[in-house]
């Protein structure tokens, strides 16, 4: 415990983005009351992603009226989460934003509409002074009590069921509902979802099918459903003011069309009017519709991903989840793998990058690319409204990252992995202390969080051990279901006694394992990890370059996911807890359509 205390204090430094100028508006003569009003002129400086002023000071209880001129030719947004402020700022216009600064404290304001490369740095600070209730006292960060149901991807269905009527029409029932959606980060967000989930359930039909969708609106405002990329009769296109009146709350509208052409399509709101479409999409109203050709050459593995964004929350989900709760793509060697990518967001592009493989772009916007013209790539940018189908042969075993290469999006959760079955089996035969041989079977019934390192390591290894222990602390009462294991990659210097003593100095809950060179090498390989000696020319002679990930295995010894220490122990703990409550490791067959 002493060693852990010494090595476990870390300071996370963030970049501070400062806007132009400062304004201080404090009135000592007026009492702090709700009737106090202050008008402030602000602007978004053109082409700089900055606020002017970047700092504002007011007294607690002030009604703040900001007149914000957006000098850019594209929209921005102004948001302060603690005061429930989130206002779109149309391009080249002045917009007035009003709110009461009801609590004392320092509050960040930021752009809530994605607007280019400088978006994530477009931040400023509101200083609220005086005797008002502080954020800590008010519990401002806590979500208000709500009777809206809380749901997550674990409650979702993958494919929407249908009935076939006497005329052979496939009849689907679709709703739009208000939900509190948990993207897997433990912080439910008020959302609007088709059939109460994000994204909406996949509709899968065959080209030429007659399709009827009975849509009922349970939202607090009118809405529509557009069938993106499908050639249909005009009246079923789902555009308010053009093809129909928006469906009011409590009403039902019936769409009907022939499923044509085949390909990756999707359905999404067109709002109650043109001004509300983006807002309703950002709330979650989108889902995939896959039209299979009649002669479909089914791949071994097929996986559909829907890319969206909740920019004002910093979240960029894949199919309603953020990493590490995203669903991996599980394959076996030799599989032909098809990934259908849909960008159902309203504002952002996503360059999706697959590590370790080259893929062919076999369809764009649902339409097949002619043979011989398919591009071979490893990054494909998916613009809003785009769909791309990519295919590759699973011929390079491992755990391969698949993520958005707009790295702020990846940091916001838009990452998953292609995982080869059996490439990580977690098997080992090692020694714990003097004379005790242990295998993975000794930990059956427990989750295992496994890391690699060595006692002479001065940087990543102590961090990894401390992170494991912080994960246990974050799990609380669930911690007794998880065993942290630290395996030495340096058996020449780390005897079983030495590694056991090393980890016990951090915490008695740790298990440290070593063994012969052959035993350690086999254990490293069983996790798909690596380790090698690096000559340093120092008195120690060498250091070790090794895998720095932590590997999570379920109680049956199946691989779940891997994490790096800087992902954060709270997030790792959340992923473990989600799996405890909902998860089972999906087989490759579960990812295949029709199984």
Q: Name the CATH superfamily, with its identifier, for domain 301-423.
A: Cupredoxins -  blue copper proteins (2.60.40.420)
Give the pLDDT of residue 116: 61
User: What is the Cα–Cα distance from 593 to 370, expressed in whole angstroms?
Assistant: 24
Cα–chain center distance at 3: 34
77 is written with which tokens? Answer: 């947004």
Cβ 513 vs Cβ 496: under 8 Å: yes
Give the pLDDT of residue 137: 39
Whose CA is closest to 305, among 323, 287, 292?
287
Give the pLDDT of residue 131: 65
Task: Order across the sheet with 329-331: list the strands.
Answer: 329-331, 415-420, 399-404, 350-354, 379-382
Whose CA is closest to 245, among 222, 268, 275?
222
Cβ 72 vs Cβ 46: under 8 Å: yes
CATH code, residues 429-582? 3.40.30.10
Cβ 492 vs Cβ 461: under 8 Å: no
Q: Name residue, tokens 């959302």.
A: 191
3 state SS of 496: helix
- Would you kindly state where each structural domain of the chain is located, as residue ranges? 22-138, 150-292, 301-423, 429-582
- Burial code (b: 16+ CB inside 10 Å, e: under 16) for 199-225 equals bbbbbbbebebbbbbebbbebeebbbb
Residue 302 per-residue DSSP state:
E
Cβ neighbourhood burial of 138 (10 Å; 0-12, 13-18, 19+): middle
Q: Name the CATH superfamily, with its identifier, for domain 150-292.
A: Cupredoxins -  blue copper proteins (2.60.40.420)
Instruction: Report CA torsion sign: 531, 533, 534, 538.
Output: positive
Residue 573 per-residue DSSP state:
H
Give me the CATH topology for the region 22-138: Immunoglobulin-like (2.60.40)
From the CB of residue 29, how many other CB atoms can be counted at a distance below 10 Å? 4
Whose CA is closest to 448, among 553, 322, 560, 339?
553
Give the pLDDT of residue 574: 86
145 Cβ contact list (under 8 Å, min separation 6)? none
Cβ neighbourhood burial of 101 (10 Å; 0-12, 13-18, 19+): buried
Phi, psi of 350 (to 5 degrees): -135, 105
Give the pLDDT of residue 6: 41
Nearest 5°: the CA angle 360, 365, 371 is: 40
In angstroms, what is the C-alpha Rg of the chain? 27
Q: How far is CA 56 from CA 66, 132, 197, 310, 325, in A?
A: 10, 17, 39, 26, 38
Residue 369 per-residue DSSP state:
P
| Matching fold, domains 22-138 and 301-423 | yes
Residue 75 per-residue DSSP state:
-
Q: What is the pLDDT along the chain (595 residues), one digit of tens a residue?
A: 444 444 443 333 233 333 333 443 433 334 334 558 999 999 999 888 889 999 999 999 899 999 999 998 888 889 898 888 888 899 899 999 999 998 899 999 988 876 665 667 788 999 999 865 444 334 444 444 568 999 999 899 999 999 999 999 999 999 999 999 999 888 899 999 999 999 999 999 999 999 999 999 999 999 999 999 999 999 999 999 999 999 999 999 999 999 999 999 999 999 998 888 888 999 999 999 999 999 999 999 999 999 999 877 889 999 999 988 899 999 999 999 999 999 999 889 999 999 999 999 999 999 999 989 999 999 999 999 999 999 999 999 988 999 999 988 998 999 999 999 888 999 999 999 888 999 999 999 999 999 999 999 888 899 999 999 999 999 999 999 999 999 999 999 999 999 999 999 999 999 999 999 999 999 999 998 999 999 877 777 899 999 999 999 999 999 988 887 667 888 889 889 888 887 643 332 233 222 2
């Amino acid at each position: 415990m002493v060693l852990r205390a010494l090595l476990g204090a870390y300071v996370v430094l963030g970049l501070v983005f400062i806007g132009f100028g400062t304004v201080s508006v404090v009135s000592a003569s007026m009492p702090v009351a709700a009737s106090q009003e202050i008008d402030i002129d602000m602007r978004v400086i053109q082409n700089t992603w900055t606020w002017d002023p970047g700092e504002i000071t007011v007294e607690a209880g002030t009604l703040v009226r900001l007149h914000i001129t957006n000098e850019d030719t594209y929209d921005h947004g102004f948001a302060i989460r603690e005061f429930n402020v989130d206002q779109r700022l149309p391009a080249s216009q002045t917009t007035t934003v009003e709110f009461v600064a009801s609590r004392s404290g320092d509050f960040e304001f930021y752009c809530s509409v994605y607007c280019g490369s400088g978006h994530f740095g477009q931040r400023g600070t509101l200083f609220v002074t005086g005797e008002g209730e502080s954020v800590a006292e008010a519990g401002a960060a806590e979500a208000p009590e709500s009777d809206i149901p809380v749901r997550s991807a674990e409650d979702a269905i993958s494919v929407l069921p249908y009935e076939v009527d006497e005329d052979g029409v496939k009849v689907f029932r679709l709703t739009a509902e208000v939900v509190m959606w948990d993207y897997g980060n433990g912080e439910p967000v008020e959302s609007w979802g088709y059939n109460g989930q994000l994204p909406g359930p996949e509709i899968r039909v065959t080209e030429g099918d007659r399709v009827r969708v009975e849509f009922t609106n349970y939202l607090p405002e009118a809405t529509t459903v557009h069938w993106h990329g499908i050639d249909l009769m005009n009246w079923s296109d789902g555009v308010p003011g053009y093809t129909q009146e928006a469906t009011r709350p409590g009403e039902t509208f019936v769409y009907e069309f022939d499923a044509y052409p085949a390909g990756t399509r999707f359905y999404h709101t067109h709002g109650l009017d043109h001004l509300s479409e983006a807002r309703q999409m950002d709330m979650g109203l989108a889902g995939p519709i896959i039209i299979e050709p009649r002669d479909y050459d089914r791949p071994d593995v097929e996986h559909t991903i829907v890319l969206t964004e909740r920019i004002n929350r910093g979240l960029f989900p894949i199919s309603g989840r953020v990493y590490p709760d995203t669903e991996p793509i599980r394959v076996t060697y030799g599989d032909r793998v098809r990934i259908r990518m849909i960008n159902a967001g309203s504002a952002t592009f996503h360059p999706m990058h697959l590590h370790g493989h080259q893929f062919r772009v076999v369809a764009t916007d649902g339409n097949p690319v002619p043979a011989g013209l398919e591009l071979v790539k490893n990054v494909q940018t998916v613009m809003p409204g785009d769909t791309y189908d990519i295919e590759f042969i699973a011929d390079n075993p491992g755990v391969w990252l698949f993520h958005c290469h707009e790295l702020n999006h990846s940091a916001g959760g838009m990452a998953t992995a292609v995982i080869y079955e059996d490439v990580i089996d977690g098997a080992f035969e090692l020694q714990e202390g003097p004379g005790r041989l242990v295998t993975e079977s000794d930990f059956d019934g427990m989750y295992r969080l496994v890391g690699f390192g060595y006692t002479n390591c001065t940087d990543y290894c102590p961090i990894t051990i401390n992170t494991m222990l912080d994960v246990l602390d974050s799990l609380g009462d669930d911690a007794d279901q998880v065993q942290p294991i630290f395996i030495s990659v340096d058996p020449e210097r780390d005897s079983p006694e030495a590694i056991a003593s090393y980890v016990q100095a951090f915490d008695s809950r740790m298990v440290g394992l070593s063994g012969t060179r052959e035993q350690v090498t086999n254990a490293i390989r069983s996790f798909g990890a690596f380790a090698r000696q690096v000559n340093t020319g120092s008195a120690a002679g060498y250091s070790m370059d090794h895998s720095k990930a932590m590997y999570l295995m379920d109680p049956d010894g199946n691989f779940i996911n891997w994490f790096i220490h800087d992902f954060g122990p709270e997030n790792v703990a959340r992923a473990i807890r989600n799996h405890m409550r909902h998860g089972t490791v999906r087989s490759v067959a579960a990812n295949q359509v029709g199984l």
